[in-house]
Each structure stands twice: as structure tokens, then as C-alpha cells.
Structure 1
Amino acid sequence: MLLGVIADDFTGASDIANTIAKGVAPNGGLRTAQFLGVPKTAAAADVEAGVVALKSRTIPVEEAVAQSLGALNWLLAQGCRQIVFKYCSTFDSTRDGNIGPVGEALADALDVKSVVACPAFPGAGRTVYMAHLFVHDRLLSESGMQNHPLTPMTDPDIRRWLRYQTRSSVGHVALDTVRKGAEEVAATLAAKDDTLVIVDAISDQDLITIGSAIADHKLVTGGSGIAIGLAENFIRCGLATGNSGRLIGRDGPEAILAGSCSGATRGQIDVHKRNHPTLAIDVDKVMSGETTSDHVIEFITGNHGEAPLAYSSGTPEEVKAIQAKYGREEVAAKLDAFFADTALKLVRSGVTRLVVAGGETSGAVVSALDLGSLTIGQEIDPGVPVLLSDGEKPIALALKSGNFGSADFFVKALKRLKAS
């Protein structure tokens, strides 16, 4: 294994796995596998890039650090020459962490400084300029992320936000330096003594330049975009031959589960409602136990072939009201358990194509399914590939971060998940 990735949630893991497997034209990417948690055995010999998916974004800092160091040790044991700590392109975190503490812990373990921190993902509208994070033409704090139920991002200055979370100073490499080329970026980083350094990027070419500049860095952190140029480094020096996303999938019954409250997911649900059966999950009734996963199973199985969607997505006002009534952690834990139980029963009942929207929801679902490693297939939309589980009865998955995907994503995903 050449490249190892530690991802702080499951949708983010499939996002960066897609980026690495796809690579850049004409050479393509690396043979990539995604692992759900830290594996207990070695990876297959032909895996060139391994992505370890954790559910560490919103857990206590100490647990996130411990899990990430465990993933690091496994990846190093597989022979990885470079490690990526992958977090969301909207820098999802509180003022206390977990991005900064995990980044510092990994840097300490590898004894490195001047570690790039770049959440930019221009293909999904996320750019970094003057150390400020934008979502399309809006500052992060005006993009809707300020209303995130678990990690509200109220400050677009990620250098300042990261400084709250870390022990040391946070550096910055400006866009004009990036535009001077990889050698200039490399020299600027080498001259810095900061542990973490924000690097501006507003285009894929900027990320390719950064990737070339850090070809020999042991550690890099960022969104999935930071990996755009990393596969090419290994191909260029003859360590890998190149690869592109394979056409894989599974025929059979389908289901869509959405637990994200992002504006993009709510819009996708509205579009889906026009021509397909949908079920709105009443969170109050889930909390009281009046609504159970069996109600969702009955709805899904009764509408196979019609792309049935069950969702708990609400407006920011609805989310705040339900959190005020029951408590933020209590609501999150109950919904995670609800969706996990639902997905497990759906797969046991024969569902072979499953689309899940929302990072926390996806993490809960795949943890419950215990699928082992996942093969990375073709891209559905930027940041979202087809995933195929191993085993005698594989299932095809799409794990979508809340803000990702086109308006018709759900229908598109189900079509791409088919084997034929």
C-alpha cells in the first residue's frame, strides 16, 4: 500500500476514495479500497491506496485522537509512504475540535511540521482564499453550515478556527504563492515552523500544484480535493501504473434513507417527492418510540421498484426545536440507532442497492451492516462513488455527504448502483 487515508466519517471516506481511484487524466488513479473502521487483518496485496473510515468527527476529542492513531498504525504497517487525514470540505468541527487535535496528534506521531491543511474541493464549490473558506459564492458562515445541528460553522476564517483547537500557531500559504508553482509552495512550506499550515486553493489546478509540492510529505490534511494530485506522484515515479473507476453494481431491490438536514439534501428530497414515494419520519414519534424501524421497512418493501425514500430531514428551525426538547446528543443518538436498525433489516430482507444521505447517518448505517472492505467504482456525482461490499451477498452503496449531489441525485444513484 502506497497511500493511506484516515477519514473522520464514512461519506468523507468514500468521497476521497473516489478522488484517489479516479486520479487525473490521462494516467488515472490508484487501486483503492475503503475499510469500515480499523481492519484486524492486512489489506489485499494489490491495494495501492487504503481509506480507513472512522466515525470520529463528533465524538470526544480523546476518543477521536485514539481512533485516528490506531488507524495510522495499521496504515503504516501496510507500508504506506504518505498519510492523509481527511475531514469535510466544510471543515465540520466545533471550536474544541476534532480536526486540530487529530491533525496535531498525527503530526507528533510522524514527527513532522508544516503539514498542509486544505479543505478546498472546487468541484463541489468549496474554495479557500486568504485562509477563508467559501461555499460557492458565500462565506462558510453564510452558506447554511452555521445551522449545522452538530458542528455549526460560524466563522469562515479557518486559520482562526483551527487555532482555537491547537496548541501551536497555524501558518498560511497564500494563493499568489500557489500560483507560482510547486517549487515555490514546497520552499514556502519548508521555511515554516507551524505544525499545521492553511494553503489557499480555488481550482483543481491549484490542488494539483499543492499535491506535487508535497509529494515527499509524510502527512497531509484536508478535504477530498487535496488528494486530486497525490496518485499522480506515485504513478510518475513508477510505483503505480494508474487506474480508473470500474463499472460495478448490483441488481435487486432498492432503498433510500436520508438523515441529513442540509439545504442540498432537503432540495433533493423535494425533487424526489414529485415522482416517487417518500416517507417523512416524525422525529418526535421516534423519540417516544411510537415510530419504529418496522414502519419504514413496511413502506420501503411496499414500494420496491419505485425508488422509495424515507427521511428525517428538517429545517434549521425544526431541528433546533427538537434538540431543545430532547437534547442534541440524545436526538442524534436515537436517530443514528433508528437508521442503523432500519438499514440492517432492509438488507436482511433482500435490499441490494442502498443510498444513504448524511455523514452521521451513513456512519451509523455502515457500522451496523459490518460490511468489511468496499470496492470503489464509478463516480455518481463529484465526491460520491459507487461502493460494492465484499462477501457472498454483496450490496451496492452510495454514501452521500449532506451537501453533495445534483438535484436528481437519488434517482441517478440508484441507476448507477445497478449491475446492468
Structure 2
Amino acid sequence: MTKLIFGVVADDLTGGMETAAMLVAAGIECGFVTDPDLVGSCGDVPAILVAQKTRVIPASEAVTMTEKAARALLARGARQIFFKYCATFDSTDQGNIGPVSDLLMQLTGAEYTAFCPASPALRRTVYNGHLFLGTELISDSPKRNDPLTPMTDPDLVRVLQRQTPTRVGLLAHSQVNAGADSAGRAIAEAAARGIRYFIADTIYDRDLDTLATLTCDWKLMTGNATIVQHYPAIWKARGLIATARRPPGLRAVGGGGVVLAGSCAERTLEQLAEFEKSHPLFRIDLPNAEDVAATVGDALDWARPRLDRGPVGFATSGAPEAVKMAQQRYGREGAAQLAETILGRLAVSLRSIGVRRFVVAGGETSGAIVEHLGIRRLRVGPYGGPGIGTAVTEDEDPVALCLKSGKLGPIDLFATTLEAMLNPEAVN
């Protein structure tokens, strides 16, 4: 059996799917499950990813769920564990990046690890330990208004240190720029002083390549999906995997198509506006949607006569003012849970009337919908660009899914992705 080179635990489904899609695009077959109990059934593959909805749940629950996933991957002989989180380091002072990393350090026996959320191609960079979105510090960007994980401190060393008793330090850009060997010596010297976690300055794609070379043999690495693209070439060069082969393509899926949007990110709002130019969109009034059954029923009644004419959309997404109103009425977590419950139950009802193609916007929303649909395993297609991960269930009555990060994707993603699901080979 092929040795499991790479075992990934992802803290949401959108980023998890994007990570798996990057590996598939590089010719690395990657098992994708949402239930750690299915890790053993993924077959003879060099990479397996367990994606779970752990980003914003209580830290103790996130640790418990992650432990089960990591133990399953380690039991399969995973050479390295990779903890995948968001490019904007989505977390709070209670976690969950710090507590989960503490658990993974213990399980893997790693001496130290690094944190690399950067995605230079998307202008998410880290310099002097500070996270930038384009030219703005993250604390000056729209991310400061995130309803669940507002980022008001750009210094990731401080952010992470508030989440963990483990000492956090900086791997400065001058050290990264000097190459993997030099960076490794800098880390070893800092580790001798008791530092175990390193925020990695990352400005350019070449920095990602350096960091991948540096960390390829580590027991534990953490970061955003982007650095994962740099590992396959290293594995091949070192003979850890055979020559890459193109994994089987995704099946074409017919049936109705829908967009389900729960993200309040500016990009998702722009994508919804573009979709609404040519497709019907049902906007759910979340501040007045406490009767879930009635809200779902109204949305389904609206959809029935329209689905035969093409894709439709549903959104609990709103501008910051609308989000604030919902949070004032239900509380921050209550508003998020209400939106996820409505869209999750709506997805189940839509599936019952023939919908088989779903584009979902938002990490938490994606997790809720996959849970409601009872999906535990997916075949992921090759990477289609930032924020685009597509997959199909492997049962007799397949469902096609695109789980989209709220902050990413081209403006016309909703309509074009639903169309592509009808004939995925045409775009792969």
C-alpha cells in the first residue's frame, strides 16, 4: 500500500476542499472525508484530508474533534500532519488555532512548528509578523467586521500567544529569504530558547517554496492551503511518491441547481448581485426568521415553480447593518446558528425535490449543509482557482458540490460553476 505522505486536518470544509483540489491538480490522489471513521476506507492514496466544522465551535470541542481526526491519520501511518486554517487566521482569543495546535504538537511529538497563513497570489501576506490584505493591515480591512472572528489585531505573534501557553516567536522575512537551511538554523536557535511556535513571514511565492522545503520533513506543519501546492514537487524529487498521475475526473451531475449563501463577506455579496442579474434570488430576512419551519417552507414554495427554468439562489447573507440587527436579536452565535439551520434544512428539502447541484458560499454554511445532507465522503476535482473547490458524492444518486470561501472566487462563480457541473470534463 502507498505510504500516507500527507494527513490533513482542516477546520472547515471550504478550505479543506480547496486544499484537496490543489493536491489533485498536482497529480496527488487525495481522499476527502468529513468523518474520521472513514479514513481507513480511503484506499491506496498518498494524501487524506479530514474536513470538520471546528473553526468557531468551543475550543474544547474543536480539540476533541481534531484529536479523533489526527489519531485516525496517524494510525494510517501519516508521515506528516498538516493543520489547515484560513488565510486570514480566523480565530479569537479563546482559539481555536492555538488549542488545536497544542493538541497536534502533543500527538505528533513535534519539537516545534510554523504558522503560514499567507497567500501571496491573493495579496494575503505576512511581514514582521503582521497580516496584510493587500496594502491594508487586516485590522483595517473589512475583516475587522467579521461577525464571528473579527480580526482587530494584525500582529499574529500576539494573536496566537493569547490562545496558547506555548511560546510564540517570529521567523522573519530576512531569515526566510536567506533560504531553507538558514531558516532552519534560526528556528533551531530560537527553539533552544524555548520558542516552539513560529509565525512565518511570507511575502512572495518563492517564500512559500522555501517554507515548504524547510518543513517537508517536519512531523507537524500548519497553514493555509496555498503552501500545500509546493509540497508535491518536493515529494517527487525525494522519491516519496511515484510519478504523479491524473486522478479520475468528476462525474457529470444533472438535476436542479441552487446557490446557498450564508457568508457576509463583501465578495459573496458581489457574487450574489451578479447572479441575481440573470437568476432568481430569494433573500431570507434573518432578523425575522425565527420560525425555521415556516421560513424553509416559504423558500421551498418560492423555488418549486422556478427550478424547472434554471438555477436559483437563496441567501441569508447581508450587509454589516443587517448582520448587526440579527445579532442584536439572537446574539452573535445564535444568529449564525439560525442561518446555518435554515440553509441546512432547506438543502435537505431541495434535494428531496430533485436538486443535485449545490454551490455553497461560506465556510460555516458549507459545514452545516454537508452535515444536514449527511455527506461523509467526497471525490474532489482539480483546483479551479482561489476559492473554487468542486466535488461529487460517490453514491448511485450523486450530488455535486462547490464549497466556496466567502471571501474568494470570480464574480460570476455561481452561475458558471453550476453550469460546469453538468459537464466537468469540459473544464478540467
Provide the rounded CA distance (Å) in 1 between the counterparts of 2:390 and 2:292: 34
Tell whether 2:228 aligns with 1:227: yes
Alpha-carbon distance, 1:290 to partner:
7.4
Alpha-carbon distance, 1:357 to partner:
0.2
Provide the rounded CA distance (Å) in 2 between the counterparts of 1:299 and 1:36: 31
Q: Report the AA paired with residue 366 of structure 2.
A: S
**Are 1:380 and 1:416, in contact at CA under 8 Å, matched by a contact in 2?**
no
* 1:25 aligned partner: none
Tell whether 2:244 aligns with 1:242: yes
* 2:183 aligned partner: 185
**Are 2:42 and 2:48, in contact at CA under 8 Å, matched by a contact in 1?**
no
* 2:42 aligned partner: 44
Provide the rounded CA distance (Å) in 2 between the counterparts of 1:5 and 1:385: 16
**Are 1:107 and 1:195, in contact at CA under 8 Å, matched by a contact in 2?**
no
Tell whether 2:96 aligns with 1:98: yes
Provide the rounded CA distance (Å) in 2 between the counterparts of 1:36 and 1:59: 16
Q: Report the AA paired with residue 323 of structure 1.
A: Q
Provide the rounded CA distance (Å) in 1 between the counterparts of 2:233 and 2:247: 15
Alpha-carbon distance, 1:296 to partner:
2.1
Secondary structure, in 3 states, of the residue corresponding to 2:289?
Answer: helix
Which of 280, 294, 298 matches 1:295?
298
Q: Report the AA paired with residue 135 of structure 2.
A: D
Which of 112, 115, 120 matches 1:114?
112
Which of 387, 392, 402 matches 2:396?
392
Provide the rounded CA distance (Å) in 2 between the counterparts of 1:35 and 1:211: 25
Provide the rounded CA distance (Å) in 2 between the counterparts of 1:174 and 1:158: 12
Alpha-carbon distance, 1:385 to partner:
1.9
Provide the rounded CA distance (Å) in 1 between the counterparts of 2:248 and 2:154: 37
Alpha-carbon distance, 1:246 to partner:
5.4
Provide the rounded CA distance (Å) in 1 between the counterparts of 2:135 and 2:127: 12
Tell whether 2:422 aligns with 1:418: yes
Provide the rounded CA distance (Å) in 2 between the counterparts of 1:143 and 1:319: 17
Secondary structure, in 3 states, of the residue corresponding to 2:383?
Answer: strand
Secondary structure, in 3 states, of the residue corresponding to 2:402?
Answer: strand
* Segment drifting more, 126-135 vs 180-189: 180-189
Q: Report the AA paired with residue 286 of structure 1.
A: A
Tell whether 2:407 aligns with 1:406: no
Tell whether 2:342 aligns with 1:344: no
Q: Report the AA paired with residue 352 of structure 1.
A: R
Which of 349, 353, 360 matches 1:356?
360
Which of 376, 381, 406 matches 1:377?
381
Secondary structure, in 3 states, of the residue corresponding to 2:162?
Answer: helix
**Are 2:28 and 2:232, in contact at CA under 8 Å, matched by a contact in 1?**
yes
Provide the rounded CA distance (Å) in 2 between the counterparts of 1:337 and 1:230: 37
Alpha-carbon distance, 1:382 to partner:
1.4
Percent identity reads 37
- Residue deviations 1:49-75, cap 9 Å, x none? 111011111111111111111111000
Provide the rounded CA distance (Å) in 2 between the counterparts of 1:169 and 1:317: 39
Alpha-carbon distance, 1:289 to partner:
4.3
Gaps of 5+ in 2: none
- Residue deviations 1:332-387, cap 9 Å, x none? 22221111111112122221111000111100000111222111113333142211
**Are 2:261 and 2:314, in contact at CA under 8 Å, matched by a contact in 1?**
yes
**Are 1:14 and 1:383, in contact at CA under 8 Å, matched by a contact in 2?**
no
TM-score by length of 1: 0.94
Aligned CA distance change for structure 1 residues 176 and 244 (closer, same or farther; 3 Å): farther
**Are 1:131 and 1:159, in contact at CA under 8 Å, matched by a contact in 2?**
yes
Which of 82, 85, 104 matches 2:83?
85
Tell whether 2:137 aligns with 1:136: no
Q: Report the AA paired with residue 209 of structure 2.
A: I
Aligned CA distance change for structure 1 residues 416 and 351 (closer, same or farther; 3 Å): same
Aligned residues: 415
Provide the rounded CA distance (Å) in 2 between the counterparts of 1:298 and 1:137: 46
Alpha-carbon distance, 1:206 to partner:
1.4
* 1:255 aligned partner: 258
Tell whether 2:263 aligns with 1:265: no
**Are 2:31 and 2:42, in contact at CA under 8 Å, matched by a contact in 1?**
no
* Segment drifting more, 108-117 vs 96-105: 108-117
Provide the rounded CA distance (Å) in 2 between the counterparts of 1:371 and 1:206: 37
